[in-house]
Amino acid sequence: MSETEGSREQGEGTESLAHRVPDLAALELLLAVARLGSLGAAAREVGITQPAASSRVRSMERQLGVALVDRSPRGSRLTDAGVLVTDWARRVVEAAAAFDAGARALRDRRDSRLRVAASMTIAEYLLPGWLLALHAERPDTAVSLLAGNSAKVAELLLGGDADLGFVEGLAVPKGLDAVVIGHDRLIVVTAPGHPWARRRRPVSPKELAGTPLILRERGSGTRQVLDAALGGLARPLIELSSTTAVKASAVSGAGPSVLSELAVREELALRRLVAVPVDGVSLRRDLRAVWPTGHRPTGPARDLLSLTRA
């Protein structure tokens, strides 16, 4: 074997398979020519013009290095090589159809369910509306909601037990990507009978830090924001793992609390709770959708994310 021939064979061996095998569109056109006996009829069947079909066949012939179709005024017929290539093409197209059916089944299975993990305020006061809107768009998608604090949401996502999460903390948990979907403000509230409900001047950061409060547990987004605002000096009177439980304790008169403005709108309107002004403390926070780094939401999770941002 000459050095030139050896180099050519080595080059053919390293060339990508995609460059040596015609694409599916070309193979489907060749099958149509074999079945219909006419390049023009085959072109119409696959939805292209006859000149485009002729160009596609010529390109395939150049790629393979053999003539595939004899063209004449009476129609088009396959050459001997064309008959053989058509047989191979049929198997490739059938395999591609099986591949497509399998991928479609995977998408259908993915789209049949959605697992959402959300920190408590979002789970209780925002997600119900979003999920109703999602149901209108995807009535066949079953949704499960797992509620917990922001640390728990991150754990579920990183463990593969949730498809999309929502958190309220100051920072994005490690290992997750995020997008801000809204904003929230924490406010100090107390029952109408508490002395703070009647005071005329705002509560100072020092007073707030020195007063035992009904608080969410550590790891929750609400607690993260408060601890950051007070330098970690917040004093818990009671620590509870549910926004509803914290709110109920505050309504009962057990003491002041710090809660999301979203969570106490009804209680403030009915005067079951009173908002207490605070001076010199920022209690604003971002609401975020989160997912594992590098795995952008798809299917129902992508649709839910779009609804939250709308």
pLDDT at 111 over 90: no
Residues 95 and 135 in one domain: no
Final residue of a domain: which of 90, 109, 128? 109
**Shared-domain flag, residues 227 and 301:** yes
Q: Which CATH number goes with the domain that contains 178?
A: 3.40.190.290
SS3 call for 53: helix
Place of tokens 């396959």: 78
Give residues with Cβ within 8 angstroms of 142, minimum separation 6: 112, 113, 114
Percentage of the chain exceeding pLDDT 70: 92
Q: Which residue, of 93, 109, 125, is where some domain finishes?
A: 109
d(CA 177, CA 179): 7
- Other CB atoms within a 10 A radius of the CB of residue 84 amount to 13
Spatial contact of 241 and 221, defined as CB atoms under 8 Å apart: no
Among 74-83, 124-133, 156-165, 263-272, the range scoring the smallest mean pLDDT is 74-83
The CATH number assigned to the domain holding 93 equals 1.10.10.10
Residue 5 has pLDDT above 50, yes or no: no
Residues 221 and 198 sit within 8 Å (Cβ to Cβ): no
**pTM metric for this prediction:** 0.62
Do 120 and 104 belong together in one domain? Answer: no
How far, in Å, CA of 202 to CA of 185, rounded?
A: 17
Instruction: Let me know whether 149 and 268 are in one domain.
Output: yes
109, 125, 144: which is the final residue of a domain? 109
- Predicted pLDDT at 234: 85
123 and 205 together in one domain: yes
**Which has the closest alpha carbon to 272: 214, 203, 186, 193?**
193
Same domain for 55 and 189, yes or no, is no
Question: Do residues 214 and 166 both lie within one domain?
Answer: yes
Parent domain of 204: 115-309
Q: Are residues 92 and 44 in the same domain?
A: yes
Domain count, the chain: 2
Q: How far apart are CA 60 and CA 11, in angstroms?
A: 20
Average of pLDDT values for 149-156? 90
Give the pLDDT band (50/70/90) at residue 4.
very low
User: What pLDDT shows up at residue 10?
Assistant: 47
Q: For residues 174-200, give the mean pLDDT.
A: 93
* Residue-level pLDDT at 14: 54
pLDDT at 142: 87
Report CA 89 to chain centroid distance, whole Å. Answer: 37
CA dihedral (190, 191, 195, 199) in degrees, to 10, reads 60
- pLDDT at position 166 is 95
In this structure, of 46-55, 100-109, 201-210, 260-269, the range with the lowest mean pLDDT score is 100-109
- Give me the residue label for tokens 């996502």: 157
- How many Cβ atoms sit within 10 Å of the Cβ of residue 40? 15
pLDDT at 106: 65
To the nearest whole number, what is the mean pLDDT of the chain?
87
Lowest-pLDDT range of 95-109, 126-140, 234-248: 95-109
